[in-house]
Structure 1
Amino acid sequence: MQDDSLTLIGPRLKSWREKRSMTLAELSETTGISSSTLSRLEAGKRAPNLELVIPIARALRLELDDIVPRATPDPRVTRTTKHVGKVQFETLSPESSPVQTYKVTFPANPVGVVAVPDPKVHDGHEWLYILSGHLRLVIGEQEVVLGPGEAAEFDTRIPHWLSATGAGPVEMLSIFSKEGKRIHLRASPTTKSDTSAGN
């Protein structure tokens, strides 16, 4: 526990004591800790320790988590990049998230080459939002082209396939379940310069 966290324990104890409508004398009688020690502790003039905090917590009907400030976790997401074939996936959510969010980049198709759809199915739903470029989406019997600012959502149990239209790369945000993550990201992590990994 850091020193700055320790200094917050006394004021928290005072706040909880006052919420319980308990005087220092009453808390002293219940815990066996002198009123002067309790007063110094609440004012931050006495360093807290377990011998003091535990009986006070019991007297105030508190858990230690109510007294000891919890560390605020770093909200930043550790970024990793993976390639599945020539499609790049960059993580935008932590591994513990119930849904997985990625920035996905599809490469442009060679000039004059029209990709042949190879639809796949798997459990879950997928939501996507186009950041740049134009995405060719084949789902079931439908085929649509999505441009920047457009979004789509679909049941991934329906055969589906995605690709750039050929007029340049596509960047999009994609959100899917952990099952979807398992299906989509079958390749090992690679460096951003390595785009030779196979499906």
Structure 2
Amino acid sequence: MLTEQLKDMGARLSMLRDSLGITPEKIAEALEVSVADYLLYEAGEKDFSFSFLYNVAGILGVDVLDIISGETPKLSLCCVVRAGGGYNINRRKAYNYKHLAFTFRNKKAEPFMVTVEPNGDTIPERHAHDGQEFNYMVSGCMDFFIGDMVYTLSEGDSVYFDSAVPHAMKTHGDTPAKFLAIVMK
């Protein structure tokens, strides 16, 4: 299932890039990845991080969900998401994203409910993307890594940061951490 989804996303990425007349070399350079790695994304052979999706969507001038689902949001007045709802984006093993404005068109921000699963002693890979981000801890406890700093965040804590600085999250103990993430373009 995931492999098929990756292939579909890669095909959409390739089609969007081609339709804009952008070469793989130019987009790889803009994304700061090798051309070989970029072509693996287009082939559906490399999993997408949220940072990669956010950055490539910005370059291509589309919504993140256009690449993930192939469906363009239709609403511009409001988007209501009921408790526990949202568009599931399971891009990374330890992170589960639920997009909370998935039907709203021309968003100025991308709101997500993010659950970070316990990942033992594994040091998380840091990612970066353009813009700024606000994270509000809903439950659990986690370490927030940004640049050379590490902050421990618990329920009710928040952090606002420059998301161009590489960052990652890691839970404390065996309990998942959940936070509201609002990514601003």
Q: What TM-score do the two structures reach when normalised by structure 1?
A: 0.47
Shift of 1:114: 1.2
Specify the code of the residue in structure 1 equivalent to 2:131. Answer: G
Q: Mind listing any 5+ residue stretches in structure 2 that lack a counterpart? A: 1-76
Task: Tell me which of 63, 80, 83 is aligned to 2:90.
Answer: 83
RMSD: 2.2
Contact 1:114 1:166 in 2 (8 A): no
1:76 aligned partner, one-letter code: V
What residue in structure 2 maps to residue 97 of structure 1? Answer: 107
Equivalences for 1:6-155 in 2 at 5 Å?
A: 75-77=79-81, 79-86=86-93, 87-93=95-101, 94-109=104-119, 113-155=120-162
CA contact (8 A) 1:132 1:147 kept: yes
Could you tell me how far 1:103 is from its partner in structure 2? 0.5
Code of the aligned partner of 1:99: A
Q: Distance in 2 between matches of 1:115 and 1:75?
A: 37
5+ long unaligned stretches in structure 1: 1-72, 179-199
Of structures 1 and 2, the one with the larger relative CO (CA 8 A, separation 6+) is 1
Structure 1 residue 167: Cα displacement = 3.5
2:127 partner amino acid:
K
Structure (1 or 2) with the larger CA radius of gyration: 1
| 149 and 115 in structure 1: CA distance in 2 versus 1, 3 angstrom threshold | same
Alpha-carbon offset, residue 75 of structure 1: 4.7
AA aligned opposite 1:97: K
Aligned to 1:53: none
Q: Secondary structure at the match of 2:127?
A: coil
The Cα shift of 1:170 comes to 0.7
Identity, in percent, stands at 26
Question: In structure 1, how many angstroms separate the alpha carbons of the residues matched to 2:165 and 2:135?
Answer: 16
Distance 1:127 1:76 in 2: 20
User: TM-score with structure 2 length normalisation?
Assistant: 0.50
